Structure 1
Amino acid sequence: MAEVLISEAEKAFIHHGVQDDLRCDGRSRLDYRPIYLETGIVSNASGSARLRLANSDILVGIKVELAAPSPDKPSEGRIEFFVDCSANATPEFEGRGGEDLANQISQFLQRAYASIDTLNLSELCVIPGLQCWILYIDILILECGGNLFDAVSLAVKSALYATQIPSVKVAAIDGDVPELELSDDPYDTKSLNVQNAPSAVTLMKIGNHFIVDPTPEEESCSSCGIIVAISGNGSVTAVRKTGSGSLHTETLTAMLKTSKEIGAVINELLMGKLEQEKKLGSSKKVGFMR
């Protein structure tokens, strides 16, 4: 993650604020900053979303393509994540500076979505063993304002919600080569059930307490933390530790419990706002966590 250099006096001020449950921007330890999103903004994508969490700005585009399924999962489709950290997001991303973070985010998402508790990938199968849909999820970090894992996960779930998969019919199978017919009707599509798609919850330990949705300055004050992917049904699908510090068993247990509680709220709010935006039209931006 992009690190911000701050003075010892600023670190002490942040530490005291967290201790008193009053952070620099007026939030409590478990409050998120405002989140805004809009979907369907990339015309040539099968699904897209742009999400802004304070100063973190994320754009996600999804392309769907037909290809052969994996040999070990012949009756399932696949999801592949690609993350690009724009050099304009922070000076640290210039050159190859953002590659490590991009790899960390894509690997975390791959693990988070590998669980059967997230998406039903069998819905992406067209002909078992021969053809399936592959979802290529391209993530562009336009601006870095802290808490990127949470912002990216919410943007990905929003883009998946907006994704439309064309209807396809099997005309014939000549040997091992199927002949498929894609519908010409742009409205003859199907949507994904993303109710259980995971949202990430980041908790950073500062002093004897932990906080959610850390700012870049708060991230610099934290010695360690965890990022937890929580599915819509409350299951933990991935956990990642950050920082070089250690966590006591009791603290880790409390952080996991809190992340599940917050994840449940965020997933419910996000699905509600996505459904609200769908009714209002894709040109209407909606916000939540305010």
Structure 2
Amino acid sequence: MASVSLSEAEKVYIVHGVQEDLRVDGRGCEDYRGVEVETDVVSNTSGSARVRLGHTDILVGVKAEMGTPKLEKPNEGYLEFFVDCSANATPEFEGRGGDDLGTEIANTLYRIFHNKSSVDLEALCISPREHCWVLYVDVLLLECGGNLFDAISIAVKAALFNTRIPRVRVLEDEEGSKDIELSDDPYDSIRLSVEHVPCIVTLCKIGCRHVVDATLQEEACSLASLLVAVTSKGVVTCVRKVGKGSLDPESIFEMMETSKRVGKVLHASLQSVLHKEESLGPRRPKIGFLG
């Protein structure tokens, strides 16, 4: 994870400001920075999105390829995640420095999407036990400026919203053998419903309070954070603690309630942005969430 060095005086200044609900950049504890979302930015993918959150820059591409359903789930397709931490994002990712973080992010995404409620995996099945769509979700970290998990979850949801999967017809002859026919029409495609795809809301405990969308400087003042995956209806699907510090039960309860409240607004804003950008075509407006 990208880090920044702060003096004790700077840390005290940040902590005291958070206690007064006034952060260094003027935001309140539950305010996000402006978020810029672009979709359909990579031509050779089934869907793609780029998200800029402060100084954090994330690019996600989704490729749909035919595969074989897993033995334990013969009627479903599935998603595969790969996270690449670019060395240009921070010098700490030089060599194999970003491998551990990439694995950590990929495992978190697996936990979030390893259920039927997030994505309709049965819609990805072409022929039970024989053919299905496999969605390869590639995440590229272009720049790290704090709050990686939230930005990545927003980019993944936007990329899945933008994904177009070719329509497939299964033809069966008199002998019972099946033939797969893909439509040549680029407009003859199916889309995934992202209504129940959660977004991650990361809450950093700073002093006696917690903040959302922490900057690198604020993350340096926090010993523990809570990653909460929240759906558009405020349903929590996954919770994970990050950091070496501890969180008391009362703090966890407060952070969960904050994540539900903030997450519902985040989803509504994101959905509005995605539909607006789709209607505008190549014009890409910069729209802030929760500002």
* C-alpha contact 1:203 1:211 (8 A) present in aligned 2: yes
Superposed CA deviations along residues 106-131 of structure 1, whole A, max 9, x for unmatched, are: 11111111133211110101101111
What SS class does the counterpart of residue 194 from structure 2 fall into? coil
Cα drift, residue 179 of structure 1: 1.9
Aligned residues: 290
Alignment-derived partner of residue 96 in structure 1: 96
What SS class does the counterpart of residue 287 from structure 2 fall into? strand
Aligned Cα RMSD in Å? 1.4
Superposed CA deviations along residues 196-236 of structure 1, whole A, max 9, x for unmatched, are: 11100000001000000000011010010101111223221
Mean CA deviation greater in 171-180 or 36-45 = 171-180
Alignment-derived partner of residue 188 in structure 2: 188
- Unmatched runs of 5 consecutive residues or more in structure 1: none
Q: Which aligned pairs between 1:76-225 and structure 2 lie closer than 5 A? A: 76-172=76-172, 178-225=178-225
Residue identity in the other structure for 1:29 = C
* C-alpha contact 1:40 1:282 (8 A) present in aligned 2: no
Residue identity in the other structure for 1:32 = Y
Cα drift, residue 177 of structure 1: 7.0
* C-alpha contact 1:38 1:283 (8 A) present in aligned 2: no
Alignment-derived partner of residue 230 in structure 2: 230
Q: Which aligned pairs between 1:246-285 and structure 2 lie closer than 5 A? A: 246-285=246-285
* C-alpha contact 1:273 1:286 (8 A) present in aligned 2: no
What SS class does the counterpart of residue 133 from structure 1 fall into? strand
* C-alpha contact 1:277 1:286 (8 A) present in aligned 2: no
* C-alpha contact 1:56 1:142 (8 A) present in aligned 2: yes
Tell me, in whole angstroms, the C-alpha distance in 2 between the residues paired with 1:133 and 1:275.
25
Question: Is residue 53 of structure 2 the alignment partner of residue 46 of structure 1?
Answer: no
Pair 1:57–1:173, CA change in 2 (3 A):
farther
Cα drift, residue 238 of structure 1: 1.3
Tell me, in whole angstroms, the C-alpha distance in 1 between the residues paired with 2:120 and 2:61.
20
Tell me, in whole angstroms, the C-alpha distance in 2 between the residues paired with 1:275 and 1:17.
37
Pair 1:166–1:12, CA change in 2 (3 A):
same
* C-alpha contact 2:33 2:288 (8 A) present in aligned 1: no
Tell me, in whole angstroms, the C-alpha distance in 1 between the residues paired with 2:70 and 2:234.
28
Tell me, in whole angstroms, the C-alpha distance in 2 between the residues paired with 1:288 and 1:282.
19
Tell me, in whole angstroms, the C-alpha distance in 1 between the residues paired with 2:163 and 2:206.
39
